[in-house]
Amino acid sequence: MSQKWIMPKHSVRVSKRARRVTIKVSAYTGLEVVIPVGFKKTKIPEILRSKADWIEKSLSRIQPEDELTRPDSVQFDLLSEFWRVEYAGSTGDKAKLVEQDPNVLLITGSVDDPGKIAAVLNQWLQKRAKAMLVPWLGRLSQELSLPFNRVSVRRQLTKWGSCSGEKSISLNRNLLFVQPHLARYVLVHELCHCLRLDHSNRFWNILEKYEPKARQTAVIMRDGVDWVPHWAQV
């Protein structure tokens, strides 16, 4: 007798942009099913069953939070920066981070708690990403004559960027771990959404005026979570 299939824990997200059902597995959200507007949720179990082997393998590659370890370095490919991380335990129940020359991050305080170390590193990452990505988007907007209204930088769960109907762009702070030409593609992609929100052929034709290899780059970016260290995914 075959083993009974048990539907895995998952979340469902309805997307106005989606044209088909997609299944995503990431360290951010675990197993997520993205469905188009109007899709019958009763069909989801059968879809998950058909992808059971792939889902099991993908979920097994995700490290749980209790397996966080202290990083000994941080590398930002976008900025061509390499930082060595040093630790100095001291009193206090929080971790604190200080930049030191040359390219050293000194973390003090509660240095035996990987979760607190991840939290302070993510605070630093947020500041660095905002300082880099916001002005860069502004320069690209002027250079390409692709206006937008607002921009924010944050940790996005499953996307490198997003754009709303009000031309408000949100960028994933983890773009700092991406090579410059790939990060530029993401920024230009979102700027083009200010002209057209969907992912129709018309949108791709617009994007390819500025990024001729856009479709190939989009495929590369799908596996981008592998470039992001575990501490930046929690």
The predicted pLDDT at position 155 comes to 87
Q: What confidence category does residue 65 fall into, taking pLDDT thresholds of 50, 70 and 90? A: low
DSSP the chain: -PPPP-PPP-EEEEESS-SS-EEEEETTTEEEEEEETT--GGGHHHHHHHTHHHHHHHHHTSPPGGG----SEEEETTTTEEEEEEEEE-SSSSEEEEEETTTEEEEEESTT-HHHHHHHHHHHHHHHHHHHHHHHHHHHHHHHT---SEEEEE--SS-SEEE-TT-EEEEEGGGGGS-HHHHHHHHHHHHHHTT--S-SHHHHHHHHHH-TTHHHHHHHHTTGGGGS-GGGG-
Q: What is the pTM of this model?
A: 0.74
Q: In this predicted model, what pLDDT tens digit does every residue of 16-61 receive, in sequence order?
A: 878 889 998 876 567 889 999 999 999 999 999 898 888 887 777 6
Q: What confidence category does residue 64 fall into, taking pLDDT thresholds of 50, 70 and 90? A: low
Average of per-residue pLDDT across 57-76 = 79
Q: Quick check: 175 and 151 in contact, CB under 8 A?
A: no
Within 13 A of 125's CA, how many CA atoms are on the CB side? 24
